[in-house]
Chains A and B, each alone.
Chain A
Amino acid sequence: MNWPQVLADLWPEVRRKHLWPELPIPQMGTMDAPVAMQMRDKQITLNTATCDELAESMPPEAVIEALLDHGISHYTRCPWDLATHLQLYATAKAELGRKSLARLATDSFIDVVANTACVKEVPTPLPDVYRHLGGGPLQGALTALYTQIWGMQLHGSGDPALVRRLARIPYLDRQQWPHSLRRFVQLVRPLLEEEGRGRQPEPPALGHHSLESYSPAEVTLGLQAFAQQAQDIGQFCDVVQDFARELAALGYGKEAGEGVGPQVDAEALYYMQLAQSYRLPVRGVPMERSGVLEPYSHAPWEASQPVHDIDIWTSFGKLLPGLSQIWKRRQGLVYGQREGTPDCLLVLDSSGSMPNPRAHLSEAVLGAACAAEAYLRHAARVAVYNFSDALMGGKTVVPFTTDRQTIYEGLCVYHGGGTSLRLRDLDELRRTVPRATPDLLLITDMQLTNLEDVITYLTGLEGRITVIHIGENTATNHFRAATQHHPRLQIFPVMERQDIPKIVLGQVRRYLGGLQGQG
């Protein structure tokens, strides 16, 4: 059978039927797993062996059309995007606990939704495939479900009571998908456990769904959205670790090495994705008069004026007073000594009084992450000084860099213990900055044992200073009182996550003159 030719002939019609989805032309291929198709980076590949097998009972064109309908339905209907896929997986994982069963349950549910939407919305030979498809007890029950909800005899085998209950789930109601999946899992749980008893369960016959189906851009957006939707950091990390292999392959961690599995720093990834949602503004350094006169506008030339400023293009080649145009010059604006956004030194308190960012959402780390993103977006470098009792060695130092992963790993370290800042370290770090004076961002709950030294140090420091304090206490009041007249130091309180967008990095107090007057 010339499958590529059949595929090429059918593809335009299938695309038209599905309203021209943005997918590359599918291809035929061979696969190790007993599945009918796979999708990688939006590229559908149909398994030649499965097509050959199905073609014994169906016309070849129907085989190709049905499989393409199935594949496209996943792209256009369910799961639609990675965030939805991960959310569904998280729901299944919460119910089942076991990764392999949760993946099978999610894949099966996604298949039911996509297939049902396809059968409802477009003419398709997809039901014929299920009529001739083998499979275990789970597939048998799903085929019996299709018989019930599509109204076609497909020869499935399943407990009628189970099928009756499965048929009452609103598969096509997108809003209810998590709730529907929970119910679906509760009902098919015995079948899932039977499939996975003592071994890795077989994937659904038409193929399983992995992160490889999505393009890198879709993965980035999906992770960002899922970080927002996830109940907490624990759920996000749990799900991300289950997809560690795929994510590591996409560059979100370290791929498997000799004797080492793929590693993804899920907590760092969580803060990284969450920080993308907050666009903290960084104030630029003020511009200065350059002293150079630049052509600005035109004026009629007068005989007493020099001729070298005449603009011959607007004077029509004439040298006549009143007709010829002369350039009026004005002093130009350029950057001063420091151009653009300066680098930033993030000083983060991770002492025992601060929450552990790997166990709970830490506003301190999220704030620092948002700040790091803001500076990185402006092509500035970021250094991290993560400390607890720095005098006793409780510190993690990341030199000035633009490597996002290194920065986040530095931010997510939790030291615990006491709180003291070793000011000499900050000086040493600041001296390594390749450009002019860096901004300094200090995030702490202010319960520093050497707070007085820190205040003295900061007030004598050159450059802009932003201090974010988590919570309110007597130390924060003292700090605020001691630094209130500092022209380059700005304090922001963060009580909850919603306070983070209010932070303006590198804010200099004179910019807020009006606001302070109002306050």
Chain B
Amino acid sequence: MNPFEAFRSYSATRRELPLDRILARRDQVLQRLAQSYQALIEEESKQLIWVVEQGALSRAYSTAVEALQGVDFTVEDLEDMCLELDTNDGVTTPMGAPSGLFIAAMCNQVPAHDIALNLRIFRHRWPFLGYRLPRGRRLYLDGDAGDFVGALLDGGEVVVTGNAGNYTSIGMKTGTVQIGYSTGKYTGEGMRGGTLRVGGRIAALGRAKQGVIYEGDLQVFPTKEPEPSATLKPLASAAQPK
């Protein structure tokens, strides 16, 4: 007699949920984005010393844009990729510049006009966010941004709710950069147009060429002659001695 006769094999019927499809697609896109990022890092690692200068930036940015060609991703994928970079970044790119450029390239390539990133949840403070942001796009950065925010801005709008680092809006062509609190040194360095509004203090202005820079409500570049104050007249009641 088989004592296990009454036993039957049981296999639970597992439904496929939309969640499964969402996650599968998300993983697939993230994998492709990671490959693109890896391609950028490999290309840039050929340079023995990574120096932040115009030639290197243009080259790295072009590589990033090229690597992103054919990847169909959304703003949510972009956010998740930033989270991935925040987790894994640091070893391959100690300066963080290629990562920042890669994020900027994603912001410029994603099919959306409004992009919002919550910088408060990231450990890294990437530079070059908003790099070459084109006209018609708005990048909303909640928290403190790193250096070179809004660099070479190309007509887009960058809003930072917190502080920004050094070289804010460096080489900006057109567009608007709005910083909630303060900026570091070389603010507006090499600006060729556009508007930079800093809600708090500017540590040190750079050598801007064109465009407008405000510190609070005060226009600090190009410097405006202070308006002549109205002639003060004594109040009639005060002027007449009793």
Contact = CB atoms under 8 A, between A and B. Distances in A.
Interface in B1-49: 10, 12-15, 17-19, 22-23, 26
Interface string A153-168: 0000000000011011
A500 B242 CA distance: 93
A422 interface: no
A116 B14 CA distance: 11
Contacts of B83: 183
A49 B211 CA distance: 67
A165 B77 CA distance: 9
B116 to A, nearest CB: 9
Nearest to B23: A170
Q: Is the interface of A mostly helix, strand, loop or mixed?
A: helix
B49 to A, nearest CB: 35
B80 interface: yes
B85 to A, nearest CB: 15
Contacts of B14: 120-121
B121 interface: yes
- Chain A's interface size range is 20 to 34
Given A165-B79, A183-B83, A148 B18 contact: yes
Contacts of A121: 12, 14-15
A317 interface: no
A168 B23 contact: yes
B18 A164 contact: no
Nearest to A182: B121
B118 interface: yes
Nearest to A171: B19
B72 interface: no
Contacts of A19: 10
A119 B19 CA distance: 11
B23 A151 contact: no
Given A121-B12, A170-B23, A186-B121, A164 B76 contact: yes
B226 to A, nearest CB: 43
B19 A116 contact: yes
A60 B18 CA distance: 29
Interface string A66-98: 000000000000000000000000000000000
A119 B118 contact: no
A120 B121 contact: no
Given A121-B15, A148-B18, A151-B17, 15 more contacts: A116-B19, A120-B15, A122-B12, A123-B13, A148-B22, A150-B17, A150-B18, A151-B18, A164-B76, A167-B18, A167-B22, A168-B22, A168-B23, A186-B118, A186-B121
10 contacts: A116-B19, A120-B15, A121-B14, A122-B12, A123-B13, A149-B17, A149-B19, A151-B17, A172-B19, A186-B118
